[in-house]
Amino acid sequence: ADLFERTAEELARHGLSCECLGGGRLSHRPQERKIHVYGYSVGFGRADHAVTTEKLKAEYPDYEITWADEGY
């Protein structure tokens, strides 16, 4: 929630708005080049981790990126 609020405030200063579509967590293991997306946000619910994973794959093509709905 803190990250979203800071981002929303910054965008508002530029006349823009945003909406949070859900949340979750990341496990980032840079030495192994792995990212795992999982869990949910108590305040915002679960994001679509498949979408998050595709965006991460585009940014980190040399990483193994996985996701699961389990976990908090």
Give the domain CATH number at 45.
Answer: 3.50.20.20
Is 1 inside any structural domain? no
- The fraction of the chain above a pLDDT of 70, given in percent, is 97
What pLDDT, in 10s, does the model give residues 16-47? 999 999 999 999 999 999 999 999 999 899 99
What three-state secondary structure class fits 66?
A: strand
Q: How many domains does the chain have?
A: 1
45 within some domain: yes
**What's the mean pLDDT when you consider all of the chain?**
94
| Element of type H or E holding 68 | none
Percentage of residues in the chain with pLDDT exceeding 90?
86
The parent domain of residue 28 ranges over 22-68
- The span from the CA of 35 to the CA of 37, in Å, is 7
Q: Is residue 31 part of a domain?
A: yes
Distance, in Å, from the CA atom of 47 to the CA atom of 58, rounded to the nearest integer, reads 18
**4 assigned to some structural domain:** no
5 in a structural domain: no
Look at residue 8 and tell me if it is in a domain: no
pLDDT at 1: 65
Q: 56 in a domain, yes or no?
A: yes
Tell me what pLDDT residue 69 has: 86
